[in-house]
Amino acid sequence: MMKSIRLLIADDHPVVRSGLRDMLSSQPDFEVVAEAKNGVEAVTLASRLQPDVVLTDLAMPQMDGVTAIAQIKAQHQDMQILVLTSYDSDSDVLPAVEAGAIGYLLKDAPREELYAAIRAAADGKALFTSTVATRLMERMRGPTEEALSSREIDVLKLVARGASNKEIAGKLYVTEATVKSHLIHIYGKLNVADRTAAVTKALERGILRLGS
């Protein structure tokens, strides 16, 4: 008899959750045990229901996906977490993998690829969509000059307007920890040490424009 893989879906969009539930429920070895609409619910439900695989987005309110991944893995090391998101920049992929995600797929991935990734995750095997795998391989080969992601530019624009980390977190619907993580990546990419220098370098490179 085929063993059932118990799944928890975490995504802040009801239509996405519903679509995923219907699609995954079509597979005889998948059982969707619950849905979470934010990172806080994902952590709570993962602890309560002990799913085999958590399928999570990254951009969620109250607690973002990376923070949720880290908290779930801290409490349940054997629980596998698979990211399903629209973001594939280094600043999104790497923190998720470092937090403990075993796989990373984009939402436009073919459903058969998603099914395979879930089954691989349940067996403790990593599976990444091809573009993400390429990014990880490039990262492992050594540091290269990277462009800022769209989210990092959003953060930097708010920094340029004098917003605090708390204000930035509120405007972008992420945690302050995520804002700090973005800033660390920004500093590294721009080779600077503080907010003022980051804004100055971004203006020099044309990444930001006065009044933007």
CATH number of the CATH domain containing 192: 1.10.10.10
Task: Tell whether 126 and 184 lie within a shared domain.
Answer: no
Quick one: tokens of 210? 């006065």
Closest Cα partner for 149 from 86, 210, 106, 101? 86
pLDDT for 209 beyond 70:
yes
- Confidence band, pLDDT 50/70/90 cuts, at residue 157: very high
Last residue of a domain, one of 117, 141, 165: 141
Query: Would you state the pLDDT for residue 27?
Result: 96
Order of strands across the sheet that contains 127-128: 30-36, 5-10, 53-56, 80-85, 103-106, 127-128
Task: Tell whether 135 and 155 lie within a shared domain.
Answer: no
pLDDT in tens, 167-207: 999 999 999 989 999 998 998 888 888 899 899 988 988 88
- Residue 211 within any structural domain of the chain: no
- Residue 115 within any structural domain of the chain: yes
pLDDT for 92 beyond 70:
yes
Domain count, the chain: 2
Query: Would you state the pLDDT for residue 95?
Result: 86
Q: What is the mean pLDDT of residues 78-96?
A: 86
- Confidence band, pLDDT 50/70/90 cuts, at residue 90: low
Q: Pick the more confident residue, 87 or 14.
A: 14
Task: Tell whether 82 and 133 lie within a shared domain.
Answer: yes
Task: Tell whether 42 and 110 lie within a shared domain.
Answer: yes
- Amino acid 167 reads E
Quick one: tokens of 175? 């945690």
Q: Pick the more confident residue, 13 or 92.
A: 13
Task: Tell whether 179 and 105 lie within a shared domain.
Answer: no
CATH number of the CATH domain containing 18: 3.40.50.2300
Domain that holds residue 30: 5-141
Task: Tell whether 136 and 155 lie within a shared domain.
Answer: no
8 A C-beta contact, residue 151 and residue 182: yes
C-alpha 53/C-alpha 78 separation (Å) is 10
Query: Would you state the pLDDT for residue 205?
Result: 84
| pTM for this predicted structure | 0.66
C-alpha 168/C-alpha 176 separation (Å) is 8
Last residue of a domain, one of 123, 141, 159: 141
C-alpha 45/C-alpha 54 separation (Å) is 10
pLDDT for 130 beyond 90:
no
pLDDT for 51 beyond 70:
yes
- Confidence band, pLDDT 50/70/90 cuts, at residue 87: confident
Task: Tell whether 86 and 185 lie within a shared domain.
Answer: no
Task: Tell whether 33 and 67 lie within a shared domain.
Answer: yes
Query: Would you state the pLDDT for residue 39?
Result: 96
Residue entry with tokens 């937090």? 99
